[in-house]
Amino acid sequence: VQLLTSLSYSIGIIGTISNAVLIHAIRKHTPPTLRVYAAIFVASALCDCIGLLAMMSTTAREVIYNGSCVLEFYGACTLVSDELCWACWGIQEDMYSTAVSLLCLSFVYRFHAIDDSKISRLTTVIVLCFGMVVINLHVVPGYYFTLSNARKKIAFMEDYITHRPDASTTLGLIYSDDLFSTCVTSYTILSGLLCFFIIVQLRKRTIQRVAMFEGTMSTNTKTHQMMLSKVHFLFF
């Protein structure tokens, strides 16, 4: 447990500091031509920070027991209530889904920035970033109610505690036979896979599109695309 807690806090602190440095660097050193693209990175970094803080507050160990997943919480949330731990876990998963969605949005931006379409405008990108956050908000209450199975499946949890008497007293349960739990967890996994599939396709199409229009591009557009390629190399 001490190793888990130490590792969780170490990753959380390092990640939070790294994201803070990234946000500062973006705000201070981003050239005007990449200002819109940088907004997506700022939003992603903020989501990552929130997710890391939620991770540190839960410090959860996932234990597979009789086909279901029991979460043992050891973080600071245990000092308050089980409900806070469930909510923080939901926030953590929400931020993961949102960060992946924002990564996908960055590739959508790169694809459309070639012809300077409306999506490449700052206002549009900010609205889309906000939309990504809103779309994934349902993950928080979803995991909250999913993990509350720890109080509903009384016989299951009593059996679990009997087999693991040294486990944390703050528990959450993702019950395998619960349809709602399956839908919530599946969304997190499938949304991430879908975004990565879209990213792969967009990257391929962007390369093809740049090659197709390279001869007719203005010097400014070529420079913009070159800078985006460098950002892609640095961050991905």
Q: What is the DSSP letter of 75?
A: S
d(CA 92, CA 99): 11
Which fold does the domain 2-235 belong to in CATH? Rhopdopsin 7-helix transmembrane proteins (1.20.1070)
pLDDT at 235: 40
| Nearest alpha carbon to residue 101 among 178, 185, 44 | 44
- The answer to whether 65 and 163 are in contact (CB under 8 A) is yes
- Please give the average pLDDT of every successive group of 10 residues along the chain, which has 236 residues: 84 92 86 78 89 93 92 92 94 91 83 63 75 87 94 91 88 91 91 88 79 62 56 42
pLDDT at 168: 86
pLDDT at 172: 93
**217 phi and psi angles, rounded to 5 deg:** -75, 145
d(CA 7, CA 176): 28
pLDDT at 226: 58
Domains of the chain: which residue ranges?
2-235
User: Which pair of tokens denotes residue 29?
Assistant: 């050193």
